[in-house]
Structure 1
């Protein structure tokens, strides 16, 4: 039905909503449409009968109609878009496609980029069209109402464009103040004893030095006084190295330099060696100086600290021909280079003419890796114990350095899998630090590596993870700073919510220095920091932290990774029971953007729905019991899946039936799921903002005995988690065990 052009309503409608009128179809096209649509209807009716026919005629009809209507409407939208596209000039389509491609290169954030690009192109196109017509005086002679309409429309578009520009240039919304800060959470008298602050400078005077090849591509490594190293052939560990990259650097993968910045203590030593490696960043914006804050601190406390140069493995849009030829699988090269650096240090340590003769303790080495470097250190630890390269056994290894500790900062995991498998490490200390507001490695990926590290029982190895509120990816490195993205894309991030660089680096110094004290210098009192952060509250910045811990002195009773039966424990003969629970199942833990490699038990409860019966989750030990050693602690890890804190009662029973109970809040309640909204509103909800992060607890069995003098810790028979303090909630729990003193 045609619109009457003399009708005022139809004239306005045609201006605001110019719907296309399809041309009359020939009989051939009518037959084609009828045949293809009839075929599709017949197929979907059969498919609907197969999928929902068993639920009765009414549901079959409703379901079939809904499916047909959905597809018809969706196809109508697509057809309308294609029809309108045909009406556009070819040059305009060309300009839009080219512009969209260039904008996509500028705003490399999925989904958000597409919305911004579509909105920008639409608004700018309409404004450009109006301004051009105005410049050409095409509006002269137009009725006043038409001119007013176009002026208002142009004004609205201009205001929208200006508002969007202010939004884009801003730093985001006001930061959220974490409600569960360390000093607020840890008020118990047990925390009155505080450990000395390991982030304060030590007693040693700090000296600096550089080393590298004489024909170095960077002047700092060939300055007067630098020690000399020879390049190494890394061509077997990386491919995709472009000739342009070789031209820029002056070398190819067969001549990778061994460059390092060194901070070291004045003294004879020998001193433990700490080697740090950066991750991926712009190749020519050198990342290795960004760990000077760690170098100065650790050197003053008696470590040789080396920040090595691997910038030549990093991204360089020009040298990579704008991503058309990028280095492939370069993570093994990052790892292998660390070992080649240590080989040089071994030579220096044995050379009487070298200033580091006898001063480096290569049986006491820690590797620190940031971002991709956080994965590279695990590969380096793996290669260190192998006789050949897993991807090419013709390449022989003979390193065997004393790498005792690994520290991953915002680390990646699984980007490279040797022989197609994950990196499984045994008997090594491991610490992982992750910012809640990491805008690059946004999922806590290194919790997978944390779970894969195993220990021989009764040894001294330990591992820990720490989740830090307000920390981003970049501020752990002074060169990278507050922006975790590439160029213009950084403006899409809500950087206003971040803690300061000084606070983030003080946090890193505290945890890293404490971990090295505990693992390289064997100052075991600093294990307490990772077992319970309350013992560090006087010197850690007052912030929200969620930490997990496990060591070789822990006997695992229920780890949830050995089978799919929710009633069986890891300990042979152990039994898991649930009473009056709303949910009870074992599942793979879901991170923000991926599934993890580990499992936990999901427990949900609702006191109101349980009819007044107390929800309980229990671990019943075998009849012979486990006979905990004197001074042992009951340990477990919990991740809250709710937006409110959770408290509960932990009850233990001995073989004589004596019971003792403690409230979890005496250590700290389980904090709510922490939000990390790293995009600006309104896009902040378009990507995941939460993930389960486990908080470890260690409740001394002696504390239970103080609660009930009749309770016998050596006769422990049952552990019960009673959900009596919070009316409802959902948690994940894993790693229930007993830790000896």
Structure 2
């Protein structure tokens, strides 16, 4: 045998050494490690094979062996890759590994944002700049000159690829993203002017009152504007029972501890006799030393000119302070309840001023007409304040007595959180007040419509006069409702991960806020009931609102809800006892918790799916009304809330709008039908891609948002003169106008117009 053949044979033996004698591969290990490796492998494989038999053995011998072997190979491959990476890092200098880990932490801080993107950007930068540094150092020191030609070529290729990656990545970070917004269903296009004749005045225009301003604050406030000449002085309050982990550093920064929280506020008020409704505004979480409360001056000036006293209160000392919180190691906790409680303490001060002769606000504030407006965490704080307002003591500590009972009639949540604070572990439930939730589809902070949960936890007493509404705005973000926060919903460089180019201009977002908030206050505090129409149908505000897409919902205390779907798991029963529900030819029919972008919310709906191509008849869903509990008049309306749940179709599709027939049937069998589209079009889920391409799918972009519909029984009478509205017995949703789709429905009921 020649030398060449011997070399070839040795090469073959080496290649197949793993298979010919696998135990030799353990040769570098000491005897103890060899034994540990063999024993652990044998035991793990034996247990795995036994468990595999229990899991899939009943399928037969063939499936058992195929399934266990394939999964075993997958485990070996994945763990082999991990082991290889660990082995590779062992070959790296420990100083580089140390600095790479430190850089990873620093870069994560630099790009705080969605976790997936933060990790991708951070790891990409570590790899790219490590390669760049290594190549530059080799070039500067001249080490590349001694390398072989092939090494120089490969080094050049790697250098070019690395440089290109850094340039493209840098451009991606610095660019604001894509402005490709789909506005196929703009308000003015969907709501033609000839259908919305109105005599209402523009609620966003300045009113007739001259606006005066004033500040108030506790003595020696950490902010001089609250102790300026002419400011009113307030006493500090003890809020230590409502917060935890208030650091000594936070005390040093603000000059007080949790037992001496200040009551600071800026006031805009009409130059007139009064009394005027009192509106209190509270900001949410932000950097504590970048004061948030001045960001609502636009609301203060507008509303004061229209006859409201407006207060923007200071709760910045409860906000995030990286220095005082040791970044994330000692964060202030459980302050959400304090945010709401402080609002009531402010109201207590106002109640005193209103009763004190000589005070500038003596007799000026109508304490029976109070509205609370909150933004972000403030949107949850106002619901906490409304709940505490009716309690005799703190839910968590009965020794803390409450005695508020102020005339809080209306609560407004702007991009509000929900569920960060749960009184005694329960969701905040409110009753008998007016509520409005506003949310942007492109919110990059409170990314799910949390305010919809609170909306569905508000109930009304029979015979009362309250309403609740929600408005979802396409192109609106979190921060532009506050002029201090602006277009960036994150902190620092983390904002570069978001697609801010697609946001509506701030002046348009502020305009939307002005129209909606002013209309809501006029409707619920000032007796201008005509402004309710705006929330029943945004078409009445088409000339005042920015021309983007909106989804709105509405329910009032004149409505008797037949089925909210929150009561039980029985598909056949209505919420109002005595009614029945049934479906025909439906592809899907189930009741479920409504799933938003990041959570299953705390309310339910019926999910109905249909496909006429596969159904043997016309798909339909029927509500049989109870014999008792309903006051049905000729002037009544059938109302319900519906959301499109098909998240597969694109919003730019020409046939994306769902249509159906709503049919009413009386006790004599007389039926009348009206197409859904004659009242309003069911809008699709808005797609808010809040992170830049190509990572738009890294975060959920759609969520079902409910839209209210109202069908006057008089319109059914016109469709069929034989139909008797007072004898209404059935409501049928007939899916005969769209080939297939999926919708969610809740809050089916009967509304009687206010007499």
TM-score between the two structures when normalised by the length of structure 1: 0.95
The Cα RMSD (Å) is 1.7
Counterpart of 2:235 in 1: which secondary structure? coil
Q: Which residue number in structure 2 is paired with residue 574 of structure 1?
A: 579
**For each residue in 1:16-46, what CA deviation from the matched residue of structure 2 results, as whole angstroms up to 9, or x when unmatched?**
xxxxx98744554444333222222221222
Query: Would the aligned equivalents of 1:630 and 1:740 in 2 still touch at CA under 8 Å?
Result: no
Aligned with 2:54 (options 50, 55, 62): 50
Q: CA deviation at 1:645?
A: 1.7
**In 1, Cα distance between the equivalents of 2:724 and 2:152?**
90
Q: Does 1:718 align with 2:742?
A: no
Aligned with 1:539 (options 544, 550, 565): 544
Q: Does 1:708 align with 2:713?
A: no
Counterpart of 2:298 in 1: which secondary structure? helix
Q: Which moved more, 1:207-216 or 1:190-199?
A: 190-199
Q: Which moved more, 1:515-524 or 1:476-485?
A: 515-524
Counterpart of 2:89 in 1: which secondary structure? helix
Query: Would the aligned equivalents of 2:578 and 2:628 in 1 still touch at CA under 8 Å?
Result: no
Q: CA deviation at 1:553?
A: 1.0
Q: Does 1:65 align with 2:81?
A: no
Q: Which residue number in structure 2 is paired with residue 95 of structure 1?
A: 99
**In 2, Cα distance between the equivalents of 1:210 and 1:436?**
35
Q: Which moved more, 1:440-449 or 1:23-32?
A: 23-32
| Distance change >3 Å, CA 510–CA 563, structure 1 → 2 | same
Q: How does 1:281-320 map to 2 (within 5 A)?
A: 281-320=286-325
**In 1, Cα distance between the equivalents of 2:534 and 2:198?**
12
Q: CA deviation at 1:193?
A: 3.3
| Distance change >3 Å, CA 562–CA 135, structure 1 → 2 | same
**In 2, Cα distance between the equivalents of 1:550 and 1:261?**
33
**For each residue in 1:685-714, what CA deviation from the matched residue of structure 2 results, as whole angstroms up to 9, or x when unmatched?**
111111111011011111111111111110
**For each residue in 1:438-477, what CA deviation from the matched residue of structure 2 results, as whole angstroms up to 9, or x when unmatched?**
0000011121111111110221011111111010000000
**In 1, Cα distance between the equivalents of 2:367 and 2:86?**
67
**In 1, Cα distance between the equivalents of 2:41 and 2:126?**
36
Q: Which residue number in structure 2 is paired with residue 11 of structure 1?
A: none
**Mind listing any 5+ residue stretches in structure 1 that lack a counterpart?**
8-20
Q: Which moved more, 1:241-250 or 1:632-641?
A: 241-250
Query: Would the aligned equivalents of 1:195 and 1:536 in 2 still touch at CA under 8 Å?
Result: no
**In 1, Cα distance between the equivalents of 2:729 and 2:428?**
37
**For each residue in 1:103-159, what CA deviation from the matched residue of structure 2 results, as whole angstroms up to 9, or x when unmatched?**
111111211111111111011111111111111111123333322321221011011
Aligned with 1:106 (options 110, 114, 119): 110
Q: How does 1:44-193 map to 2 (within 5 A)?
A: 44-109=48-113, 110-187=115-192, 189-193=194-198
**For each residue in 1:314-362, what CA deviation from the matched residue of structure 2 results, as whole angstroms up to 9, or x when unmatched?**
1111122212222211111111111111111111111111111101001
Q: CA deviation at 1:624?
A: 6.7
| Distance change >3 Å, CA 623–CA 346, structure 1 → 2 | closer
Query: Would the aligned equivalents of 1:188 and 1:666 in 2 still touch at CA under 8 Å?
Result: no
| Distance change >3 Å, CA 659–CA 625, structure 1 → 2 | farther
**In 1, Cα distance between the equivalents of 2:126 and 2:628?**
73
Query: Would the aligned equivalents of 1:627 and 1:715 in 2 still touch at CA under 8 Å?
Result: no
Q: CA deviation at 1:573?
A: 2.0
Query: Would the aligned equivalents of 1:627 and 1:716 in 2 still touch at CA under 8 Å?
Result: no
**For each residue in 1:561-591, what CA deviation from the matched residue of structure 2 results, as whole angstroms up to 9, or x when unmatched?**
1110111111222111111111111111111
TM-score between the two structures when normalised by the length of structure 2: 0.94
Aligned with 1:684 (options 696, 702, 724): 696
**Mind listing any 5+ residue stretches in structure 2 that lack a counterpart?**
1-5, 12-24, 650-655
**For each residue in 1:613-647, what CA deviation from the matched residue of structure 2 results, as whole angstroms up to 9, or x when unmatched?**
21111112245794512311100111101232211
Q: CA deviation at 1:188?
A: 7.8
Q: How does 1:398-417 map to 2 (within 5 A)?
A: 398-417=403-422
**In 1, Cα distance between the equivalents of 2:703 and 2:158?**
44
Q: Which residue number in structure 1 is paired with residue 16 of structure 2?
A: none
Counterpart of 2:531 in 1: which secondary structure? helix
Counterpart of 2:737 in 1: which secondary structure? coil
Q: CA deviation at 1:420?
A: 1.3
Q: Does 1:616 align with 2:628?
A: no
Q: Does 1:227 align with 2:232?
A: yes
